[in-house]
Amino acid sequence: MMTYFQTRPKQLPCKMRGVTLMELMIVVVILGILTAVAFPNYQEFTARAKRTEAKSLLLEIASNQERFYLNANRFGSLADLGYADPLVTESGNYTIAIAAPDASNYTAVATYNHGGTERDRCTTFTIDGRGNKTSSGTLGNCWTDQR
């Protein structure tokens, strides 16, 4: 016979609930592998987007220079074209300047502002009044290379 102070031992439930440490570690390892694969691709994608932004702004300036030349019979400065001087891309990664425009030619240069691995890859983009596109950096021709 059981008294008031004596209790029956409780039995553990048949099915345990929760996550074991091993399961948690497997999830952490899988997330680490996915991050190791995805992060370099993300960095490359953002670097390409920065370069594309600079190239498209230079092409826009070239188009506006042609329009300005038809009206004024000379090439204009950034201020003449209605841009801020110096002009910085929307993301703030490239600064664009026009070096000494005159009646016969202009040269617009986009220069990378920040450090890191991208600085060495495509340091500058250049376009002139004759449509010549050049670039400097370790990537090669940054106008055409999509890496």
pLDDT tens, 94-123?
Answer: 999 998 888 899 999 999 887 666 667 788
| Nearest in space to 120 (alpha carbons), one of 132, 112, 128 | 112
Residue 15 lies in a domain: no
Distance CA 3, CA 6 (A): 5
Cis (ω within 30 of 0) for the bond into 9?
Answer: no
Q: Is the dihedral of CA 68, 69, 73, 74 positive or negative?
A: positive
Strand partners, 133: 127
Q: Give domain status of residue 144, yes or no.
A: no
Q: What is the band of 16 on the pLDDT scale with cuts at 50, 70, 90?
A: low
- The total domain count for the chain is 1
Helices (H) and strands (E) in the chain, counts: 3, 5
Q: Which residue's entry shows tokens 């400065």?
A: 77
Q: Examine the pLDDT at 7 and tell me if it is beyond 70.
A: no
Residue 29 lies in a domain: yes
Q: Please, what is the average pLDDT of the chain?
A: 85
Would you state the pLDDT for residue 85? 82
Residue 121 falls inside a structural domain: yes
Closest to 77 measured CA to CA, from 111, 113, 108, 110: 108
Residue span of the structural domain in which 82 resides = 21-136
d(CA 49, CA 21) in angstroms, rounded, equals 41
Instruction: Flag whether 142 is in a domain.
Output: no
Supply the pLDDT for residue 139: 74
Mean pLDDT of 77-92: 89
CA distance 95 to 111: 5
Domain assignment present for residue 27? The answer is yes
